[in-house]
Amino acid sequence: MKGDFWYRFLRNRLAVAGGVVVVSLFVVSILAPWIAPYDPNEINIDRVLEPPSPEHLFGTDQLGRDVLSRIIWGSRISLKVGFVATGIAIVIGAVLGAVAGYYGRWVDSVIMRFVDVMLCFPSFFLILAVIALLEPSIWNIMIVIGLTGWMGITRLVRADFISLKERDFVQAARVIGARDSTIIFRHILPNAMASVLVAATLGVAGAILTESALSFLGIGVQPPTPSWGNILTAGKDNIDIAWWLSLYPGMAILVTVLGYNLLGEGIRDSLDPRLRE
């Protein structure tokens, strides 16, 4: 089974390209203190808004800070937000989806109606409203994104549970007297993790994009902490004279989100080859 997965995955060039982007982002974020050419918060008023050059490959910003260094350090923020927010969404979505799918009846109805209510609210505007009421911080952003991103995972896990709970191995577990919690978390949920893995990969991309948008609007990660979104804000303010402040962080967001999406699609296709026509 694992061999078949890797065979199909490695034959998908777009999925492999996405995997390379994701791994590269990990390496860059981990090695940021060593590969960033300058301190990301070092101000140099003699080099304000310098275009790309051999000394500053991506140019400098309105305070003379090296843009390449700030983008490299900003990758840490993106990964942290993506994984923590998605982790929160997975925990909530998996538990609610498991309970709804396993017990069914009124439990399922209550949980799914709550999911429907949450889906009625535009997620980004809900996040904006909550963040506006709270102090802008990286932890608040991660928690709010996670608390507003679990509905799709709940639906996926519920569908898998409805299918899996009638299988022979579940019936056997009931016959030997296994408790419901044991059946849910030890027998059924591990078999439903394929869908969760795909949703998580795509969810990381969505969380990174949301954080960048919030930082661009000024209610996300606050300066001087480098974030791709707040670098773009500086680019917006100087778009006529400093094109590099918009181009390079924008390309970083584009490549990262595209990489996660390609990886997620590749994992999905490899786990279920019937999706590949």
Using alpha carbons, select from 147, 145, 138, 126 the residue that is nearest to residue 230.
138
CA distance 270 to 249: 31
Domain ranges of the chain: 2-35+59-275
Read off the tokens for 51. Answer: 């275009």
Question: In the numeric block, which tokens belong to residue 71?
Answer: 């983008």
CA 175 vs. chain centroid, Å, equals: 40
pLDDT band at 255 (very low <50, low <70, confident <90, very high): very high
pLDDT at 248 over 50: yes
In the DSSP assignment, the letter for residue 58 is T
User: Hey, is 66 helix, strand or coil?
Assistant: strand
Structure tokens at 73: 């350090």
pLDDT value, residue 131: 76
CA distances in angstroms from 223 to 62, 74, 138, 233, listed in the order given: 13, 11, 11, 11
Mean residue pLDDT across the chain: 85
How do residues 4-37 score in pLDDT, each as one tens digit?
A: 777 788 888 888 999 999 999 999 999 999 998 9
For 144-182, letters b (16+ CB in 10 Å) and e give: bbbbbbbbbbbbbbbebbeebbeeeebeebeeeeeeeee
Q: With a cut of 50, say whether residue 276 has pLDDT above it.
A: no
Helix H or strand E encompassing 106: helix 105-120
Alpha-carbon distances of 151 from 76, 147, 164, rounded to whole Å: 26, 9, 20
Question: What is the pLDDT, as a whole number, of residue 73?
Answer: 93
State how far the Cα of 61 lies from the Cα of 269, in Å rounded to an integer: 42
Superfamily of domain 2-35+59-275: MetI-like (1.10.3720.10)
* Range with lowest mean pLDDT among 35-49, 144-158, 177-191, 198-212: 177-191
- pTM for this structure? 0.86
Matching residue, tokens 């709550």: 114
48 in Cβ contact with 15 (< 8 Å) = no
Answer yes or no: is pLDDT of 214 > 90: no
Question: Which tokens belong to 90?
Answer: 């997975």
pLDDT, tens digit (0-9, with 9 covering 90-100), for 52-108: 989 989 988 888 899 999 999 999 888 888 889 999 999 999 999 988 888 878 888
**pLDDT band at residue 219 using 50, 70 and 90 as cut-offs:** confident
Q: How far apart are CA 81 and CA 85, in angstroms?
A: 6
More confident residue, 250 or 124: 250
**Contact criterion met (CB below 8 Å) for 170 and 164:** yes
Residue 269's pLDDT is: 80
The C-alpha atoms of residue 5 and residue 208 are separated, in whole angstroms, by 27
Predicted pLDDT at 256: 92
